[in-house]
Amino acid sequence: MDVRIIKHPSPATLEILDRRRGSREPIDLPEIDAIGLCQGKLIDMIVASDIAQKTVGVHVEDIRGSCPQNMILLAIYGETAAVEEAIDTIGKRLMKKG
């Protein structure tokens, strides 16, 4: 699993992600200070999505891609502290798997 956090994303970065979002529903957050990007196998990304969505103050979207290995990318939108908490919790819980 690969993870990255973009703090204070540029409008162009938000537009790129918006064009590739799996859902066309608007993101219902008062503020998007950060975006957490989490990429991995489908099974891990479903668990990661569940973990992130249970974090207060974030919105999770799948990002469409064209990876032949079926890697899945999630974007976790929200305030910086909430995104960092979601990414940290995902890392801790998925490292325990086995």
Domains: count for the chain:
1
The CA distance from 4 to 87, in Å, is: 9
The CATH number covering residue 48 comes to 3.30.70.1710
The per-residue pLDDT for range 2-44, each reduced to its tens digit, is 999 999 999 999 999 988 888 778 777 777 899 999 999 989 9
Domain of residue 24 covers 2-95
Which of 20, 25, 35 has its CA nearest to residue 65? 20
| Residue recorded with tokens 């940290």 | 88
The per-residue pLDDT for range 34-63, each reduced to its tens digit, is 999 999 998 999 999 999 999 888 999 999
Q: Are strands 34-40 and 2-7 parallel, antiparallel or unpaired?
A: antiparallel
pTM (predicted TM-score): 0.88
